[in-house]
Chains A and B, each alone.
Chain A
């Protein structure tokens, strides 16, 4: 059942929230041991919350737009009193004393949190294999990765554990797993959704966004979590989004550009399967009345390089607080400094350490300008190139990921190969623009392919209109 349908039926009393939650827990019990989407299933708490919703409905209270809808939460979003680990040993057992703003908003809307989902440690990775608690598997093929870093959330939605999930996207961490798992995943405009309570990876790039099986469910969830938050200084002073009422307005007359540099003609590594699905998408959008043409964002090919300086630089600072002094497990040693070193050596996994070292180096005296400074200039170039492209186009499209889901262990030996998974998604993070992945058929291997729709800052509504068109013709069974 879709989230919108659940909320309607729960609100009207047609079905109880408890029944909805129980049905989802049943599915979890059946196949979660194969998928490993969750770090923690909060079944007991979810049932209590469901009962509370049911009693509110019984007493005639009006509930929010997500009444009784189970939702899975990426385990880097703070949930009060519920363990929040970032899939890292360094936060094992840590229970935040507060809810992230998005969690508060979900609760207010009547959503029921059903569990905390697995991720690449501190959201660093593209396969959810960098988790201290074991990898998540792709529900479409358990031998394959779900993508990452929000692989647990994408898998949870794809497996039917919950119709909705939240993830975070720093370089593609919502869109790429959404593509690999065949679900809708949205990275909103930077500042559209509060980051308060999102455990920071790279603060200038991180953004929270929804996963759903349908474009309309994703829209509804984004509406609920968006809006200005005085606790986040980078939050845009705007009202929550209003998308749902515009979803069926189509793309008639819209000018849509296909980013050449990200669609096989510039960067290598984009598979033929994916390229041909992009070509199909062009046809669908053209048939729906859009004017689709090739577009160029020349600097986007440098996105990956700039990203792997900026994101690790910010991460090296953001992750410095995990020293075992105030929270999380501590490894005792002779002095304070040695205790911090021992705690961090034991607590962080290899990929996290690699990025801390990269970032520390990039910010060091004498190297700052050559690395961090230069990367920021590349970032400006990318923004300028996008701005130029958006003079001609209302929206841009590209593949979400270069390939369909790959087998576990396929890319773990070579970090560069893994990093290339995000080549199409990173430019939007650097620009701060919204982008989303819509499932659009399958590759020859039977695994899902996602199309990425990119929009200028604040243009989520138009982006969703195009997503709705692709969804209706995606051939993945959802009409």
Chain B
């Protein structure tokens, strides 16, 4: 189906995400088999993770602790929880039921703040176990044409936290921001490595559309198989268009589960609501309820490192800007560095500019103190912005003192009288252009000013400060 472009402006997309994150425990959720990615197939298994008859689950305390960390970081209420069996047949599910949580999840009702300050609701974040992994051999890897399938149960029983977000997101960008922020929180608190490419972070996406200005939600479709932030955005965009087209052609949306096909750039129907499984949830009789003590929760809460949101706010306050402006630096984990530089009297604005634009790959050998002095040299006019960048790059590469590095490059700030002499000489050598500069209109003045600055920079081998050159030119033109 080739999609037309309906008038998207009349419509609002409503998105709610379900994120599964593998918890960074040493062993599995219910047994002592290792939780590690990439081992020889079926090497990290035991009777429990293979669902052998007679085997019984025993809850991994570390998984509970990490789940509580996630709950606290997402401002959830941590409560007494009960495991339930979710029954369905599939070869990657060795017991033919998944141990999950149903009506009593460990965490409920929280929120996550996007970098722009909007709060997105978290309905619940519950514990469950992962399934094995199936590889279809032959037939291009599709189940229907495959000649046989191989199952690797290394992933079976790996602890997961499923974070169910409220339908508070409104665009593909929102969705990507949400996942980035969530990922960053999970990594910061040590709950998960957050690697989407290895499948430790997986996203299911509920999408519906409604006319702008209306309150009622449209019928939603759930999209599965989203493996990157890029496909998340593409899938939402495609799905919203598909739904708008259907509604605009006078038809109704059918509630469906759909599959994102990355290569084709479209979603396919997997099943309709009527075909949905009846999971026959019931309390897992092999496990007892989880009742973390107040004391334990307090202890965990006290051990949480500063979260991205707090770090954005802290840095923004130190610099004197809005928290949105510091989100990139926090994402790059450079906020502590920034704060140290600022406490060494760095120029706050230059700190922000350099960390955002010139230190995307990290600070290397650069120390906060050296960085602070460099910004001061720059703002004092000792170095031009071009020179500053050169010095900065070298400090990142090899460390050292910015004064000395500048010196080694011959970046010594020019005496203003020396500079004025050069300016006078250039003016006298280009008197026609100078007259045009003096008498020209705005456009002409701009053009000529650029011309003179260029010549002067060339003459001074770039050591002159562009700002000061402009000042001298302006003063002289008014005399």
- A residues adjacent to B (C-beta < 8 A): 77-78, 84, 86, 91, 94, 96-98, 100, 195-200, 202-204, 230-234, 313-314, 316-317, 320-323, 325-327, 336-337, 340, 360, 363-365, 368, 372
Contacts and interface: CB of A to CB of B under 8 A. Distances in A.
B288 A97 contact: no
A97 B53 CA distance: 11
A314 B89 CA distance: 16
B151 to A, nearest CB: 7
A78 B53 contact: yes
B286 A320 contact: no
Which of A97, A204, A231, A232 has the most CB atoms of chain B within a 10 A radius of its CB? A231
Contacts, number: 100
Contact of B54 (A100, A317, A323, A325): A100
A321 B95 contact: yes
Lowest 3 A-B CB distances belong to which pairs? A320-B96, A363-B280, A204-B285
A106 B54 CA distance: 17
Given A203-B285, A204-B285, A233-B287, A320 B52 contact: no
A316 B287 CA distance: 18
A200 B284 CA distance: 13
B56 A196 contact: yes
B56 A233 contact: yes
Interface string B279-308: 011100111100000000000000000000
Contacts of B85: 317
Contacts of B55: 196-197
Given A320-B97, A365-B278, A372-B282, A336 B91 contact: yes
Contacts of B52: 96-98, 326-327
A327 B352 CA distance: 61
Contact of B53 (A96, A233, A314): A96
Given A91-B53, A200-B54, 14 more contacts: A97-B52, A98-B52, A199-B53, A199-B54, A233-B286, A316-B280, A317-B85, A317-B87, A317-B97, A326-B51, A327-B53, A360-B280, A363-B87, A363-B280
Contact of B50 (A230, A313, A326, A340): A326
A321 B149 CA distance: 18
Nearest to B30: A233
A320 B89 contact: yes
A195 B59 CA distance: 16
A197 B50 CA distance: 14
A326 B152 CA distance: 11
Interface string B24-59: 000000000000000000000001001111111111
Contacts of B288: 233-234
Interface string B139-181: 0000000000101000000000000000000000000000000
Nearest to A320: B96
A234 B54 contact: no
Given A313-B282, A321-B51, A323-B96, A231 B56 contact: yes
Contacts of A323: 89, 91, 96
A317 B56 contact: no
Interface of B: 47, 50-59, 85, 87, 89, 91, 94-97, 149, 151, 278, 280-282, 285-288
A325 B280 contact: no
A323 B92 CA distance: 12
Contacts of B94: 321, 325-326
24 contacts: A96-B54, A97-B47, A98-B52, A195-B56, A199-B53, A231-B56, A232-B58, A233-B56, A233-B288, A314-B285, A316-B87, A316-B280, A320-B87, A321-B53, A323-B91, A323-B96, A325-B91, A326-B94, A336-B91, A336-B149, A363-B87, A363-B282, A365-B278, A368-B280
Given A325-B91, A364-B280, A203 B286 contact: yes
Nearest to A204: B285
A266 B278 CA distance: 39
Nearest to A78: B54
Contacts of B278: 364-365
Contacts of B87: 316-317, 320, 363
B151 A325 contact: yes
A479 B55 CA distance: 41
Nearest to A235: B56
Which of B51, B89, B95, B281 has the most CB atoms of chain A within a 10 A radius of its CB? B89
A325 B151 CA distance: 10
A317 B278 CA distance: 13
B380 to A, nearest CB: 67
Contacts of A100: 54
A84 B55 CA distance: 13
Contacts of B54: 77-78, 84, 96, 98, 100, 196-200
Contacts of A372: 282
A154 to B, nearest CB: 21
B89 A233 contact: no
Contacts of A233: 56-59, 286-288
Nearest to B51: A321
Nearest to B85: A317
A315 B252 CA distance: 41
A16 to B, nearest CB: 33
Nearest to B96: A320
Nearest to A328: B53
B58 A230 contact: yes
Contacts of A97: 47, 52
A322 B246 CA distance: 44
Contacts of B281: 363
Which of A199, A317, A364 has the most CB atoms of chain B within a 10 A radius of its CB? A317
A86 B96 CA distance: 19
Contacts of B50: 326
A331 to B, nearest CB: 15
Contacts of A86: 53
A86 B97 CA distance: 21
B347 to A, nearest CB: 59
Nearest to A325: B91
A197 B96 CA distance: 18
B286 A340 contact: no
Nearest to A196: B56
A235 to B, nearest CB: 9
A323 B89 CA distance: 9
Contact of B58 (A78, A198, A231, A313): A231
B8 to A, nearest CB: 37
A332 B287 CA distance: 34
